[in-house]
Amino acid sequence: MRNQEVADILYQIADILEIQGEIQWKFLAYRRAARTIENLSENIADVLGKQKLPGVGKAIEEKVGELISTGKLEYFEKIKKAIPPIVIEMTEIEGIGPKTAKLIYDAIKIKSIKDLEKAARSHRIQRIKGIGPKMEKAILKGLSNLKKPKRHLLGVILPIANEIYNELKQVKEVKQISLAGSIRRRRETIRDIDILVTSDKPEKVMQFFTTLDLVKKVVVKGPTKSTVNVRSDIQVDLRVVEDESYGAALQYFTGSKEHNVPLRTMVAQMGYKLNEYGVFLKETDEKVAGKTEDEIYKLFGMVWIPPELREDRGEIEAAQANSLPNLVELTDIRGDLHIHSNYSDGKSSIEDMVETAKKRGYKYIAITDHVGSVKIAGALDETTLQNQISHIRELDQQEKEIRIFAGAEVNINLDGSLDLSEDTLDQLDIVICSLHSKLRMSRKEITNRIINALSNEYLTILGHPTGRLLNKRQPSDIDLIAIFEVAKEHGKILEINAYPSRLDLNDVNSRTANQHGVLLAIDTDAHSSGQLRFMDLGVSVARRGWLERNDILNTLPLEALCKKLRIK
């Protein structure tokens, strides 16, 4: 059983317990354990009971053990009978939580969405004690977008967020402003746009915000906090505080929640209180900090923590020990080694790519079009690739500022061999190898397939290693630890593919790869010159994976890179 499947069952148990009115510590414990398991690079079956897993104690360990050995959990089968799925789904509607869902279920025993819709239309919901017409209306409206995907790609949300940010920045009552929440932490997917503003006239700012042209609906509006929906139901949260509280509010609103809770717990143990307005002495309520994030973290013996690390993954302890990594930055990147041109399915010519790369200050790029017998993405045949290689060598001769490598993205065959002749492979500088077929092989088979590929002397970089597509396709079921070990053994590079829907390896797996001594390359997989800008997203993944400049292949200067990859 896969980690995500185990985690999903624990999340469902938590939801059921919450609706049943169980004390919050119990269902929160299930969520904590689920989060640990879904963020594991190792397969849960390989580490359960052998390694300390935060939030997994005796009771949950036993249940997970049963789940992975039998594929079923008696306890879960039993409790889920009490609550039909629709009751849990209902809580996805804005304003409906576990208590309301339970209230409705107890009053009228709905079993499906249809039941719920009928009850709402015939006004049987608003007659339930404790519920009124507003709730009933919210349910009717909310039912239609129940099953829609709720998280957006960072790459899609960022431009919209910046647009709103820039509009608010113009307002004269706005003093300081920052994007916050998961956007500031650069999570791979984003549920909503969180913005923090400081001002002496919060009402003015809120009035402006809630009447922006792109606002479709005002969900909540208060003097310090408002929520609106824009465009196709993207939620935007605005928080307004006084200038004196900017640091505290930014710390709060950047999160994550999982970071804030243990931080506040620690602060409380030291005799203080931390909220979005500042740090206060518990005894006297005297304010002692809050203007900047830096002074808050310092006050409690920490160095400032980069937002990308604020996920409760050991950053608080590391900040106390002053052992946070010196994170890689976009400006450290010297080149891009995975690029498609109009020889295959790319939109831009090699020449255009070179020009844009030079503007970005790169010292090298590799053109890596698809090649091979599997006819995907306008794959080149070998003869065309040969022509392309000559073309690239010619261009490279003329270029002084930038080195252009000849490369290809080669399919990994079912047995792990490469779908290109040795003769041609031998002429390439950069060989990206990736899976493009049969991504659903068994864990054992696909792991061996990749290990075989990694053992091939011609492979330079393993491209988008897990094959996941955000909101579309689960990662392949791979023993990543085994992959990392083999990559390390053969000195192979693993990719952080920066394409917005891939971001593969992801943050936690990049971190684990690095801990196993594997070098990573951040590649955009650009299909047009404009897409070279995706590098920013890849760097964010690396930063969230605690990676430093030296952990990334393409921060190397040209000469060092050539030496490392034995390119003449």
Partner DNA sequence: GCCGTTTTCGGCCCGACTGTTTTCAGTCG
Closest residue to Mg ion, judged by C-beta, is 181
The angle subtended at Cα 95 by Cα 8 and Cα 273, nearest 5°, is 80
User: Between 255 and 475, whose beta carbon lies closer to DNA?
Assistant: 255
Closest by CA position to 311, among listed 35, 534, 536, 26 = 35
Contacts for 67 with CB less than 8 Å, ≥ 6 apart: 1, 6, 9, 73
User: Rounded to whole angstroms, how far apart are CA atoms 395 and 129?
Assistant: 76
Among Zn ion, ligand DGT, Mg ion, none, residue 260 binds (CB under 5-8 Å by kind): ligand DGT
Rounded to a whole number of angstroms, the minimum distance from the CB of residue 319 to DNA is 16
Residue ranges binding ligand DGT (CB under 6 A): 181-182, 187, 190-192, 194, 237, 252-257, 260
Q: Which of residues 85-104 bind DNA (CB under 7 A)?
A: 91, 93-101
312 counts as binding DNA under rule CB under 7 A: no
**Binding string, 33-72, against Mg ion, x = CB under 5 A?**
----------------------------------------
User: Considering the complex, what minimum distance in angstroms separates the CB of residue 187 from Mg ion?
Assistant: 9
* Residue nearest ligand DGT (C-beta atom): 255
507 binds Mg ion (CB under 5 A): no
**Pairing, β 152-153 against β 520-523:** unpaired
Site membership for DNA, residue 58 (CB under 7 A) = yes
Which tokens hold the place of 452? Answer: 């075989």
Q: Give the binding range for DNA (CB under 7 A) out of 122-130, 323-331, 346-354, 508-516.
A: 122-130
Residue 194 touching Mg ion (CB under 5 A): yes
Which two tokens mark 482? Answer: 């085994």
Give the span between the Cα atoms of 252 and 69, in whole angstroms: 41
Is 49 among the residues that bind DNA (CB under 7 A)? no
Write out the binding residues for DNA, residues 263-282 only, by CB under 7 A.
Answer: 264-265, 267-269, 273-277
Please tell me the total number of residues recorded for the chain in this structure: 568
Out of Mg ion, ligand DGT, DNA, none, which partner does residue 256 contact, by CB within 5 to 8 A per kind? ligand DGT
List, in sequence order, every beta strand (DSSP E) within 412-484. 430-434, 461-462
Q: How large is the C-alpha radius of gyration of the chain? A: 26
Structure tokens at 98: 């576990």
Give the sheet arrangement for strand 215-221, strand by strand: 177-180, 192-198, 234-241, 225-230, 215-221
Cβ-based nearer residue to Mg ion, 236 or 339: 236
Of 119, 49, 52, 51, the C-alpha closest to 90 is 119
What are the two backbone dihedrals, phi and then psi, of residue 237, each rounded to the nearest 5 degrees?
-105, 130
CB of 182 to ligand DGT, least distance (A): 3
Burial track 326-360 (b if 16+ CB lie within 10 A, e otherwise): ebbeeebbbbbbbbbbbbbebebebebbbebbeeb
The size of the interface with DNA (CB under 7 A), counted in residues, is 60
The least distance separating Zn ion from the CB of residue 464, rounded to whole angstroms, comes to 7
Question: Minimal distance in Å, beta carbon 337 to Zn ion?
Answer: 11
Indicate the pairing of strand 364-371 with strand 335-339: parallel
Residue 409 binding result from Zn ion, ligand DGT, Mg ion, none, given CB thresholds of 5 to 8 Å by partner type: Zn ion
Cα separation, 421 vs 456, whole angstroms: 12
| CA dist., res. 373 & res. 376, Å (int) | 9
- Taking the least distance from each CB to Mg ion, the nearer of 187 and 492 is 187
Question: With b meaning 16 or more CB within 10 Å and e meaning fewer, what string describes 367-394?
Answer: bbbbbbeeeeeebbeeeebeebbebbee
Residue of the chain from 409, 495, 504, 507 that contacts Zn ion (CB under 5 A): 409
For residue 470, the SS3 value is: coil
Per residue in 261-285, is it b (16+ CB within 10 Å) or e — as a string? eebeebbeeeebebbbbbbbeeeee
- Closest distance of CB 266 from Mg ion, Å: 23
Q: How far is the CB of 149 from ligand DGT (least distance, A)?
A: 13
Listed ranges 43-51, 56-64, 493-501, 503-511: which one lies at the site for DNA (CB under 7 A): 56-64
Would you say 103 or 215 has its CB closer to Mg ion? 215
Burial of 22 (0-12, 13-18, 19+ CB in 10 A): middle
- With respect to ligand DGT, which residue has the nearer C-beta, 253 or 343? 253
Q: Which is nearer to Zn ion, 319 or 353 (CB)?
A: 353
Q: How far from 413 is each of 76, 416, 445, 491, 545, CA to CA, in Å?
A: 40, 5, 12, 21, 30
State the nearest-atom distance from the C-beta of 83 to DNA, in Å: 14
Q: Is 361 in the site for DNA (CB under 7 A)?
A: no
Complex with ligand DGT: residue 253 or 405, whichever CB lies closer:
253
Instruction: Compute the distance between CA of residue 502 and CA of residue 511 in angstroms, rounded to an integer.
Output: 17
Query: How many residues form the binding site for Mg ion (CB under 5 A)?
Result: 5
Residue pair 518/481 in contact (Cβ under 8 Å)? The answer is: no
Piece in contact with Zn ion (CB under 5 A), picked from 27-35, 184-192, 407-415, 439-447: 407-415
Query: Near Zn ion by CB under 5 A, which window of 25-33, 250-258, 353-361, 404-412?
Result: 404-412
- List the one residue from 49, 133, 517, 557 that touches DNA (CB under 7 A): 133
Yes or no: say if 284 and 243 are a contact pair by the CB < 8 Å rule.
no
Alpha-carbon gap, residue 452 to 335, rounded angstroms: 28
Residue 133 binds which of Zn ion, ligand DGT, DNA, none (CB < 5-8 A, kind-dependent) = DNA
Least gap, CB of 185 to ligand DGT (angstroms): 7
Q: CB 274 → DNA: shortest distance, Å? A: 6
Taking CB under 7 A as the binding criterion, the range among 28-36, 401-409, 414-422, 428-436 that sits at the site for DNA is 28-36
* Contact flag: residue 129 with DNA (CB under 7 A): yes
What is the contact surface with DNA in residues (CB under 7 A)?
23, 25-26, 28-30, 32-33, 54-61, 91, 93-101, 126, 129-135, 181, 192, 194, 220-227, 235, 237, 257, 260-261, 264-265, 267-269, 273-277
What is the contact surface with Zn ion in residues (CB under 5 A)?
409, 525
What is the contact surface with Mg ion in residues (CB under 5 A)?
181-182, 192, 194, 237
